[in-house]
């Protein structure tokens, strides 16, 4: 009987805790995207070289994608920060993170020695410098988990999504 009472207490707490976990996930992912974008936006050429270092597309395409990426990251960060189109932004974030994870894994599998360029210029590493692919993949998997949480439960406190709908977070269906 005690186990049943504990289970029902935990189950009763989840609806009260979930929106706040969602807010933490939303704001945490927003901070990641904003930081990533701000570290690259000042040197778009370096961002393009970082994308080109993965050697998966022609140089011209890599430089265009690299130059656009900081602005995409900043837009995702701002939208998550204010809580607008949260589920859509979480889905786009998840897709982008999967692409990043595949890119890092591909560079690792092909024996490239590059810095991912996730939070700065990136590109080829100096001779003798070892890449840190596993921590980068694990970090991105953590960010992917945040995006996944928001895909499932996008409604959070202090977000424009709920305010524009005129509904409090607590009214959300399970």
| Per-residue pLDDT tens over the stretch 14-69 | 888 899 999 999 999 999 999 999 999 999 999 999 999 999 999 999 999 999 99
Q: What's this model's pTM, rounded to 2 decimal places?
A: 0.86
Token representation of residue 80: 């998550």
User: Which residue ranges make up each domain of the chain?
Assistant: 17-163
pLDDT: is 163 or 33 the higher one?
33
Residue 163: per-residue pLDDT: 67
Confidence of residue 174 (pLDDT cuts 50, 70, 90): very low
Query: Rounded to an integer, what distance in angstroms lies between the CA atom of residue 73 and that of residue 40?
Result: 10
pLDDT, tens digit, 9 for 90 and up, residues 99-140: 999 999 999 999 999 998 898 878 888 888 888 999 999 999
Q: Which residue has the tokens 């809580």?
A: 83
Residue with tokens 């992917």: 144
- Is a pLDDT exceeding 60 seen at residue 172? no
Amino acid 168: pLDDT: 59
Averaged pLDDT, 87-101: 98
- For CA atoms 6, 8, 10, 13, the dihedral sign is negative
């Amino acid at each position: 009987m005690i186990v049943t009472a504990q289970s029902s207490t935990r189950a009763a707490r989840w609806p009260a805790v979930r929106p706040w976990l969602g807010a933490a996930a939303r704001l945490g992912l927003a901070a990641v995207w904003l930081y990533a974008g701000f570290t690259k936006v000042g040197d778009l050429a370096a961002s393009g070289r970082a994308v080109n270092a993965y050697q998966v597309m022609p140089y011209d395409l890599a430089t265009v994608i690299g130059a656009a990426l900081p602005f995409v990251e900043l837009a995702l960060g701002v939208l998550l920060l204010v809580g607008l189109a949260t589920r859509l932004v979480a889905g786009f974030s998840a897709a982008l993170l999967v692409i990043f994870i595949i890119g890092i894994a591909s560079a690792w599998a092909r024996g490239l020695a590059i810095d991912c360029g996730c939070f700065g210029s990136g590109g080829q590493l100096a001779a003798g410098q070892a890449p840190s692919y596993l921590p980068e993949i694990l970090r991105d998997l953590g960010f992917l988990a945040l995006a996944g949480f928001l895909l499932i439960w996008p409604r959070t406190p202090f977000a424009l999504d709920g305010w524009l709908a005129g509904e409090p977070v607590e009214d959300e269906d399970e």
